[in-house]
Amino acid sequence: MMSFFITLGRLLSAIKASWSRPYFRASLLLVIAALVSATIFYSTVEGWAPVDAFYFAVMTASTVGQSQLEPATTIGKIFTTLYVFAGVGVFVVLFAHFARAMLHYDGSDATEPKGNGTDLPDETGSADSPVAPRAGPAGGDDPGDGDGKS
C-alpha cells in the first residue's frame, strides 16, 4: 500500500512540474475531452451506466482492454474503432509528458527543454554539433562507394 502512495505522490509531482507547459495542459484537456465524450456516447448509444461507460472508455484508450463490456450496436463498434486510434495517441502524448517530468533527475527547471528541444544531432557539422560531419572516402571528394570508380 505504501508503494501506491509513493507512486501517487510522484504522479502529482509530475503534474505540478508539467503544469506550466502549454503542451501538457493541451494534452490533458484532450484526454479529458476524449474520456467525457466517450462516456457520454456509450451512456446514450449503448445504454450503459455512466460509471461503466467511463470505465470502458479508460480501459479502451489506455489499451488495457480488460473489460466485460463491449459495444452491441454497429455505430458503437465504429465509434470504438475510431476512438481507439485517437484515444491511444492522446494517452501516449500525455504519458510522455508524465514520464518526462517524473524522470527529470538533474533538479533544474523542468519547464524548459534542454538544447534545441530535440535529441537529434546538428546536421551542419558546426563546432557546436555533438557529431562531426562525415568525411568522404579516402583519396577524393567522390561520395560514391569508395572504390575510386565514378
The pLDDT tens digits for 53-93 are 999 999 998 888 777 889 999 999 999 999 999 999 999 99
With beta carbons less than 8 A apart as the criterion, state whether 103 and 13 touch.
Answer: no
pLDDT at residue 148 in the model: 55
Q: What is the mean pLDDT of the chain?
A: 77
| pTM (global) more than 0.95 | no
Provide CATH code, domain 17-102: 1.10.287.70
Domain ranges across the chain: 17-102
Q: Using 50, 70 and 90 to split pLDDT, how confident is the model at 121? A: very low
Distance CA 119, CA 145 (A): 29
Provide the Cα torsion 115, 117, 122, 124; round to 10°: -90
